[in-house]
A and B are shown apart, each in its own frame.
Chain A
Amino acid sequence: MYEHDVLVVGAGGAGLRAAIAAHEEGADVAMVTKLHPVRSHTGAAEGGINAALREGDSWESHAYDTMKGSDYLGDAPAIETLCKDAPEDVITLEHWGMPFSREEDGRVSQRPFGGLSFPRTTYAGAETGHHLLHTLYEQVVKRGVTVYDEWYVMNLAVTDEPDPRDRSCHGVVAYDVMTGEVAGFKARNGVILATGGPGQAYDHTTNAVSCTGDGQAMAYRAGVPLEDMEFVQFHPTTLPSTGVLISEGVRGEGGILYNAEGERFMFERGYANNAGELASRDVVSRAELTEVNEGRGIEDEYVHLDMRHLGEERIIDRLENILHLAEDFEGVDGLEEPMPVKPGQHYEMGGIETDENGETCISGLYAAGECACVSVHGANRLGGNALPELIVFGKRAGQHAAGTDLGEARLTTGKAGDVEEGEVDSPVALGEAGISDEAVADGGAATLTDPDEVVEAAVEAERRRVEYLMNKDDGIQHAEIRARVQKAMTKWVNVFRNEEGLKKALREIRAAREDYQHVYVADPSRTFNTDLQQTIETRNVIDIAETITLGALARNEFRGAHWRQEHQERDDENWLKHTMLSWNNGEPELWYKPVLLEGEEKTYEPKIRSY
């Protein structure tokens, strides 16, 4: 068994930042990650990092924009923490050498982004995430933090008290992809999940193949509620054939969207009379699909994003990476012609419920970054707000797990206090499909309390699961099951949603669960068995797809990224609340908790959201 003070699962932006922070506080910290850190999907972020750095800007203004962007489903303490901490945390990156784009006076550049009242998006070309990721990894190398790379975390080692709030997390179980060894990792202080988003629940996504929602699914099954999962961001500018992201920076620099008739539809069709292309992402995505659905799309599929008028010099200076992406993945020269774009799954606003210090309701279990829901983004994330979330809440989680006193959190976690039971009319049974073999069940640590025993029991359970999957001789393969879920999600749980489609999706997810009972791993090798890894990931994809769809079916209103055909208004009276899903003995339990709109000094009153 490996043993450290703090274990960080995942080595993207949030995980690396958490590890650095825990290390700075003197903890013995190790990272366990299924990819080598520099392979993490943070590297694909393009646009930038919002932070109020300049005169004329303020954290209050950033907070207001973020709250409005969230369609009033963000929690004020989370948003205010983000906006207050971001400037210092961005300057820290600068001090670590991050190669930000520069102004003439040598200071870091900022540019306008959608939904922002001030150009506060700090950037490094159109590859900000790449530079962020590498800068953070450099600091991890400098500090000599232990990294177990290509170790896939399969499950958490958590005690099994009836109320999740009484449980504690003592470590993780991981398997070494290179050798197939299954091993326990004990965490003396805490485990921080920083596993990223679940984009692989969809087939048209900007997310990497590795973004399978592992941390969310593991935390969920261990008893931590998942919050606001129905709020999925569809980025308005992805390349039609691959889902590769074309940064919002293009519109930030002045890029224009046109329909097949050559209309600048954001203005001419009245979708956003003030902000136009720089309206919030949910608004632009719906506008594009409306254009396509009404017959004004190009090839009935996409619209055009034109940046030619910006001129070669400016494009090369600030958006060069976009030229390469459009050329390599769509065969289009952005200097000569407009780029085809359509909405694609991009970001999960919801996630593992945490407070401002990254803590979940299970003692010793933390989450940060896209896998977490503090909640900063509410019903819609603003462009440029994901990267500051990584560094601000990654750092806080790392510090807190290492024992630093960050003051008491204002947000509460777990099912307690002012909660409301929820109901959803599902056409099929939900949750775990009858467990035929003990080995596929989660290794609940029963009545164990000793940390070593909790970890060992979890290791045993995972070893049995691996043996079971490897020894099975035939059945259905994960790729088929995953494809079924992805197709259903893309078809029915997309930008436009209705009751009928959501129910169809639930049926498909159910069918996928039943198929999964027969899943088997054909590759017999213990060496680098990606067949096995993806089979385990697919179970996570199914669980997460179900939470997204359930939340969406239950929420009878239109808020932020969640649009419902039958419910065309935001309904603050009934729906100004967070969707919570808890895994209760293998079944999802739906409940709601209030949104916290009271900030430190002011209360954010929900207003009509227009751009």
Chain B
Amino acid sequence: MSTQEQKPKNQTETDTESADEDIIAASSPQQRRLREKRGREIESPKETAEQEDTYHLKVFRYDPEVADKQEPRFDDFHVPYRQGMTVLDALIYARDRFDSSLTFRHSCRQAICGSDAFFINGRQRLGCRTQLSDLEEPVRVEPLPHQEVVKDLVVDMEHFYDQMEAVEPYFQTNELPEGELEEQRQSRENHEKIKMSTRCIWCAACYSSCNIAAGDNEYLGPAAINKAYRFAMDEREGEDLKQHRMRIIEQEHGVWRCQTQFSCTMVCPKDIPLTEHIQELKREAVKNNLKFW
């Protein structure tokens, strides 16, 4: 399905009439409600659209259960702009003022919960960390590509989570010090080495951007490999476990699938050098294999 070709269906001031006709055609109580609601709210975008300070958003809409949303479409929203406004702010405004059925995940508003990765003007970005003023209008907001759309901007994350959990994403060691209050030492250098990899917020922007993952459903993907890197490079785990981890990431759908396109690194909102981490693991693997010959 190409979402780009869907004919935008407008619900805003520019063609109120045609939108109304569409709604009249549908007769469920919900459609009636939506129509009334739009009637009430149309005034606010009308007023604000005349002022210069509005942003025009085109937002992807789809709901398998609702008659006029079963065919994916784009809705237009004109949101009054204030300085510093993010794409997430604009979506919240549109939902709270214009259409309460507009659905997207979001929580912390500060780029740490990783809920609101969307495909914004053709690129994976976090809604909360993307300033409207950095974008060209109309701002096109779509769900993350290569993942199944559940509704509007919500995608099914299960497969991404499965990949994350396939790399034994937890610390393991056989080298804990004696004594309950004794910490395991870690050099500052080693902490520094894994630091970037520990910043991952599981937003799936990288995974969505990766062509290899799109073509090979079993490919672990950049986020999961980065998670494996975080542990493989942690000196506290010890050499035996490192070998164990190398075996996991060297599997058929592991690091060797990466073709070094850097798309994951480009879109990562936490600036994690994902491709470099994957490359480093490949080098590690080569070294290891030579050693065992």
Contact = CB atoms under 8 A, between A and B. Distances in A.
Contacts of A103: 188
B110 A329 contact: yes
13 contacts: A43-B113, A43-B201, A44-B110, A104-B188, A106-B188, A129-B112, A130-B199, A210-B107, A245-B110, A473-B29, A479-B95, A521-B100, A525-B66
Residue from the set B66, B103, B107 with the largest chain A CB neighbour count within 10 Å: B107
Interface string A522-547: 11111111110000000000000000
Given A94-B184, A527-B63, A41 B113 contact: yes
Contacts of A483: 96
Contacts of B165: 141
B6 interface: no
Contacts of B199: 127, 130
Given A209-B106, A328-B111, A527-B151, A97 B84 contact: no
Interface stretch (A32-40, A396-404, A444-452): A32-40
Interface in A427-461: none
Chain B interface, >50% SS class = loop
B202 A38 contact: yes
B195 A99 contact: yes
A385 to B, nearest CB: 20
A579 to B, nearest CB: 30
Given A36-B161, A525-B151, A530-B103, A208 B113 contact: yes
B183 A107 contact: yes
Given A127-B112, A526-B65, A41 B107 contact: yes
Given A142-B170, A178-B150, A525-B63, A43 B112 contact: yes
Contact of A208 (B32, B99, B101, B109): B109
B169 A328 contact: no
Contacts of B109: 208-209, 242, 244
A41 to B, nearest CB: 6
Contacts of B236: 97
Interface stretch (A132-140, A281-289, A488-496): A132-140
Contacts of A210: 107
Interface of A: 35-36, 38-41, 43-44, 53, 87-88, 91, 94-97, 99-108, 125, 127, 129-131, 134-135, 138-139, 141-142, 178, 208-210, 241-242, 244-245, 324-325, 328-331, 473-474, 477-479, 483, 521-531
Interface stretch (B33-41, B259-267, B282-290): B33-41
B113 A101 contact: no
Contact of A39 (B111, B113, B170): B113
B186 A102 contact: yes
Interface stretch (B49-57, B174-182, B247-255): B174-182
B129 A139 contact: no
Contact of A91 (B66, B111, B182, B234): B182
B221 interface: no
Contacts of B114: 38-39
B4 interface: no
Nearest to B84: A241
Interface residues of B, number: 67
Contact of B154 (A94, A105, A331, A528): A528
Nearest to A138: B170
A111 B148 CA distance: 45
Contacts of B96: 479, 483
Contact of B110 (A88, A325, A531): A325
A307 B231 CA distance: 33
Closest 3 CB pairs of A and B: A97-B171, A106-B185, A523-B101
Contacts of A473: 29, 32-33
A479 B182 CA distance: 50
Contact of A96 (B34, B36, B171, B191): B171
Given A44-B113, A102-B186, A209-B106, 8 more contacts: A91-B182, A102-B188, A130-B199, A142-B168, A479-B100, A522-B99, A522-B100, A525-B66
B64 interface: yes
Contacts of A477: 100
A377 B167 CA distance: 40
Contacts of B183: 91, 94-95, 107-108
Given A43-B113, A97-B171, A88 B191 contact: no
B185 A522 contact: no
Contacts of B195: 99, 125
Contacts of A525: 63, 65-66, 101, 151
Interface in B153-207: 154, 157, 161, 165, 168-171, 173, 176, 180-188, 191, 194-195, 198-199, 201-202
B28 interface: yes
B108 interface: yes
B30 interface: yes
Contacts of B161: 36
A395 to B, nearest CB: 14
A125 B171 CA distance: 19
Contacts of B209: none
B185 A107 contact: yes
B115 interface: yes
Residue from the set B161, B198, B231 with the largest chain A CB neighbour count within 10 Å: B198
Nearest to A105: B185
Given A44-B110, A44-B112, A135 B65 contact: no
A388 B236 CA distance: 24
Residue from the set B112, B171, B181 with the largest chain A CB neighbour count within 10 Å: B112
Contacts of A87: 181
Contacts of A324: 111
Contacts of A245: 110
Contacts of B97: 479
A88 B182 CA distance: 9
A97 B237 CA distance: 9
B112 A524 contact: no
Contact of A99 (B30, B83, B198): B198
Residue from the set A94, A99, A131 with the largest chain B CB neighbour count within 10 Å: A99
A522 B110 contact: no
A91 B32 contact: no
Nearest to B108: A208
A530 B116 CA distance: 14
A138 B169 contact: yes
B100 to A, nearest CB: 5
A169 B168 CA distance: 36
B66 A44 contact: no
A596 B198 CA distance: 42
A328 B127 CA distance: 12
Contact of A474 (B36, B170, B176): B36
B185 to A, nearest CB: 3
A210 to B, nearest CB: 5
A97 B173 CA distance: 9
B150 A135 contact: no
